[in-house]
Structure 1
Amino acid sequence: MAPSLRVVVNGMEFENPFLLGSGPPGTNAKVIMKSFDLGWGGNVCKTISLDHTKVINTNPRYAKLRDPDDAKKVFGFENIELISDRPFETWLEEFREIKKRYPKHILVASIMEEYRKEAWVEIVERVQETGVDAFEMNLSCPHGLPERRMGAAMGADPEIVREVVGWVKSVAKIPVWAKMTPNVGDVAASPKAAVAAGVDGISAINTILSVVGVDLDTLRPMPTVEGYTTPGGYSGMAARPIALRHVMEIAKAVPNTPISGMGGIYSGGDAAQFVALGCHTVQVCTGAMLQGYKVVQKMKQELEAVLAKHGFESLEQLRGQALPYFTTHHDLVSRQQAAKKEIGIGRDNETWQGEIDKETDSLTAN
């Protein structure tokens, strides 16, 4: 019997932990319903706000970091795309239609507003009437609309996070997740503030503020819009190590709060790493854009294989398995010294130096 990928978070039952993350994969009802048909456990729609007329995108708004030896391989992906520019009323109609046709599938509404209580209260009250299953507060978009104190401009300040989450929780009747920015010094500060204000879950991470590169033919930064650009959000497999570190820090800081992890997930093995660091669900955005929505079937099989390899029957048994093994560098030194005494009696410094030299040689061999 295959291991179970079923997971329950905040009372919501997911057939599997794979959600399509907020962005192009959830840009309208058609693609959201397609994702449900293909087997995704849930979908976080593209971030919406009350007034779409203030959202004006440019073209181009994407740029790729490619392997210099194989241009077909993409390591990283930068975007300067803003939140949804579709009318709010259209989204309300589509949410109702999605939940009417897919009542058992989990639909998470990603919302973002200005630093005004009345705006957050209005968007929550109107959206939850459509029957969506949960909210994801976008407190973390790294680019665009900072002049309106939206996105990361809000989420980087723990006190503002505490206040805004409090506004949302005062009227929300469904679970609320807060999406965190990696563009901060203290990884745990805003998640702690959100939890203190009553948030039901944490999503992490949003994209990393970046400049993907400079076109050496034109000497203009990319993506180039009329010769200019602005720093954008970096994602893709190259972002995964950073995302894993943030998830680990958050899991340790708010141990009893469900986490939806994301950042460079391209396979079931990638997802398993996030679960091992404490995540309940995982979100895939760039990985699905570059590989296609059908990749979820492969991801599920790969995640099942990881569980089976360790004799686990469910994700619960994998969750957090790696967390206890993070410590300080000082402790690592102490542990290694103790191990040397235990198994390396009689081994002199030259022997240990020889092993270090071998490791160095292996790193420089190519």
Structure 2
Amino acid sequence: MATQTNLSVRFCGFEMANPFILSSAPPTGTGEMIKQAFEAGWGGAVTKTLAHDRDLLANVTPRLASLSFAGRSDEAKKLYGLENIELITDRPLDIWLKEIGDIKTQFPRQLLVASIMAGGNDRVGWQELVRMCQNAGADMLELNFSCPHGMPEKGMGMAIGQDPEVTARVTDWVKSVSTIPVIAKMTPNIADIRVPAKAAVKAGADAISAINTVAVIAGVDLETLAPLPNVFGKSTHGGYSGPAIKPIALKAVAGISLDLQVQVSGIGGIETWSDAVEFILLGATNVQLCTAVMFHGFGIIEELKDGFAGFMEDHGFTRIEEFIGKSLPFLTDHINLDRERKMISQIDEATCVKCDRCVISCRDAGYQALTAGPDRIPKVDRNRCTGCSLCVQVCPVWDCAKLVAA
């Protein structure tokens, strides 16, 4: 169903048809793939990261490892995270430059961002990439300061984004020759993401994108004892993406939005329209997706747009700008939280399925405030319950366990 709600949003001066962008990743690995995504209805795309041919490395196989909830053998696994050790593009720069021009000729209204990367001391390399990409027709540039694997070993990617001085230096080099907006992409693999983000903005970055993947080891194969993914007997840390990193990304976006007067492109764990709304409410102007597309394909865009439009209609919003950052005023320091009012658990006997989850969790990891009699319906001890909400979190039935005023 095509929505009639106005989903357009202005980002760094570019009027996007909708706030949904494909992030720099395998789904934007070629110009043809980006064209397919634009035909499907995506509002924008960031190319897989471009670099000078001298800086390219061959990819290894395999280069992915997934994490999933364990289920019965006859059930499809529910993926919640993906580690990758894939590198930036392995395609020649001249091919990409031609494809950028072709894409913009065919899709002038969709946002096309060129992701670029060079070393932290390579001023000439950065500036050459800037000139070539903007001359090819890119609408904006995204500086990849955040790839967590492979490239940092060459002084690139995260090696830049973890150092505010180098972040500022490279941003300044780029801005000195750029005629199009510049986005600095931040790494979450740092104590405080706001520090390099502030350095980039001070050096002239027009926007921030956050976050890139989280550095992890996905797991270990208990048969071979080798960490995953296993590349002919060896492995390495990689970048973690998918729903599991959304809370990390939300905190990063909120922190940057509160501290810096800059537009933010939110990235990390976005799978549904409601995920996207959360990022907008915490300060993002648009959102970028990758893993959801790797799991489900370009076609999810219609569901994203329809659900997002439904939210806007339900809340009376006519423009996305009306609710960017709408949730930020609710955030405060822990010391300022209300410590006077209290809530306690309440169990709905009519919907309780007598699974004992809340009783066991409260007994072994809470305050021993729940007990179950012969009927196995949990009873709340008002004198012991502290309102921690553990029972609410573990209950499998919506609204069966909830907190009420003490």
User: Smaller-chain TM-score range?
Assistant: over 0.9
Q: Does 1:356 align with 2:382?
A: no
**Matched AA of 2:119:** E
**Matched AA of 1:186:** D
**Matched AA of 1:41:** G
- SS in structure 2 at match of 1:92: helix
Cα pair 2:56 2:89 within 8 Å, conserved: no
Cα pair 1:307 1:318 within 8 Å, conserved: no
Find the aligned partners of 1:363 and 1:130 in 2 and give their Cα distance: 51
Of the candidates 230, 237, 256, which is equivalent to residue 231 of structure 1? Answer: 237
| Number of matched pairs | 353
What's the offset of the Cα at 1:336?
A: 3.2
Any idea what the Cα deviations from partners look like across 1:16-63, whole Å, max 9, x if unmatched?
A: 000001011111110011111000000101001012563111000001
What's the offset of the Cα at 1:159?
A: 0.7
Of the candidates 196, 200, 203, which is equivalent to residue 206 of structure 2? Answer: 200
Cα pair 1:5 1:315 within 8 Å, conserved: yes
Match of 1:97?
Answer: 102
What's the offset of the Cα at 1:355?
A: 3.9
Match of 2:58?
Answer: 56
Cα pair 1:265 1:284 within 8 Å, conserved: yes
Find the aligned partners of 2:60 and 2:151 in 1 and give their Cα distance: 14
**Matched AA of 1:207:** T
What's the offset of the Cα at 1:357?
A: 6.3
Match of 1:347?
Answer: none
List gaps (5 residues or longer) in structure 1: 341-349
Aligned Cα root-mean-square deviation (Å) = 1.8
Of the candidates 38, 48, 68, which is equivalent to residue 36 of structure 1? Answer: 38
Cα pair 2:55 2:118 within 8 Å, conserved: no
Distance 1:336-1:80 versus aligned 2 partners, 3 A rule: same
What's the offset of the Cα at 1:220?
A: 1.0
Find the aligned partners of 2:57 and 2:289 in 1 and give their Cα distance: 24
Of the candidates 25, 28, 32, which is equivalent to residue 26 of structure 1? Answer: 28
Q: Does 1:113 align with 2:118?
A: yes
Cα pair 2:17 2:109 within 8 Å, conserved: no
Of the candidates 308, 319, 328, which is equivalent to residue 324 of structure 2? Answer: 319
What's the offset of the Cα at 1:185?
A: 0.3
Find the aligned partners of 1:241 and 1:139 in 2 and give their Cα distance: 21
What's the offset of the Cα at 1:362?
A: 4.8
- SS in structure 1 at match of 2:136: coil
Find the aligned partners of 2:254 and 2:383 in 1 and give their Cα distance: 33
Find the aligned partners of 2:237 and 2:157 in 1 and give their Cα distance: 14
Cα pair 1:221 1:229 within 8 Å, conserved: yes
Q: Does 1:47 align with 2:53?
A: no
**Identity rate, percent:** 43
Write out aligned runs for 1:1-366 (5 A). Answer: 2-51=4-53, 54-69=56-71, 70-115=75-120, 116-254=122-260, 256-332=261-337, 335-337=338-340, 339=341, 353-356=383-386, 359-362=389-392
Kindly name which structure, 1 or 2, has the bigger radius of gyration based on alpha carbons.
Answer: 2
> Quick check: which one's helix share is greater?
1
Any idea what the Cα deviations from partners look like across 1:267-301, whole Å, max 9, x if unmatched?
A: 11100000000000100000111111010110001
Find the aligned partners of 2:160 and 2:334 in 1 and give their Cα distance: 33
Find the aligned partners of 1:362 and 1:174 in 2 and give their Cα distance: 49
What's the offset of the Cα at 1:147?
A: 2.8
Find the aligned partners of 1:279 and 1:360 in 2 and give their Cα distance: 30
**Matched AA of 1:60:** P
Find the aligned partners of 1:365 and 1:125 in 2 and give their Cα distance: 56
TM-score by length of 2: 0.84
Distance 1:153-1:353 versus aligned 2 partners, 3 A rule: farther
